[in-house]
């Protein structure tokens, strides 16, 4: 078995601040994803990466940057935190990246912006 580790678990930021969220997986999966989950809403795709150094935009990429430094890690940067923003950011990975593959999720990073 494997695990996806997201750090930090909780992140409190100030308006306008640049914030970075990290994700590590030891499944040796090719594809990694970042999703945003707002209360009462589904998961919206921010960025995904099908291999090291690859980046693909999702539906919600504006206001975010991402980086796939190596196969096992995928980081997400909020370029300018919005006041009163509150959401959970979920990292996921899958084997080949075909949409029919199973996604494995981390436990999330909960962001609050003061």
Partner 1 sequence: QQQVRQSSQSLTVWEGETAILNCSYENSAFDYFPWYQQFPGEGPALLIAIRSVSDKKEDGRFTIFFNKREKNLSLHIKDSQPGDSATYFCAASENSNNRIFFGDGTQLVVKP
99 binds partner 1 (CB under 8 A): yes
Please identify, among the stretches 12-20, 34-42, 67-75, 77-85, the one whose residues bind partner 1 according to the rule CB under 8 A.
34-42
What are residue 94's phi and psi, to 5 degrees? -150, 165
* Residue whose pair of structure tokens reads 């992140």 in the numeric block: 11
Q: Which of 5, 17, 56, 73 binds partner 1 (CB under 8 A)?
A: 56
10 binds partner 1 (CB under 8 A): no
Q: How many CB atoms lie within 10 A of CB 28?
A: 10
Please identify, among the stretches 12-20, 44-52, 64-72, 73-81, the one whose residues bind partner 1 according to the rule CB under 8 A.
44-52
- Mapped onto helix, strand or coil, the DSSP state of residue 49 is strand
Among the listed residues 45, 33, 15, 7, the one whose alpha carbon sits nearest the alpha carbon of residue 112: 15
109 binds partner 1 (CB under 8 A): no
Please identify, among the stretches 12-20, 37-45, 61-69, 76-84, the one whose residues bind partner 1 according to the rule CB under 8 A.
37-45
| Cα separation, 99 vs 28, whole angstroms | 17
């Amino acid at each position: 078995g494997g695990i996806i580790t997201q750090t930090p678990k909780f992140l409190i930021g100030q308006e306008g601040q640049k914030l970075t969220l990290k994700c590590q997986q030891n499944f040796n999966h090719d594809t990694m994803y970042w999703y945003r989950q707002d209360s009462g809403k589904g998961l919206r795709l921010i960025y995904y990466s099908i291999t090291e150094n690859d980046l693909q935009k999702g539906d919600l990429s504006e206001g975010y940057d991402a980086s796939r430094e190596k196969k096992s890690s995928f980081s997400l940067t909020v370029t300018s935190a919005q006041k009163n923003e509150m959401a959970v950011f979920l990292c996921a990975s899958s084997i080949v990246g075909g949409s029919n593959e199973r996604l494995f999720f981390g436990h999330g990073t909960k962001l609050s912006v003061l």
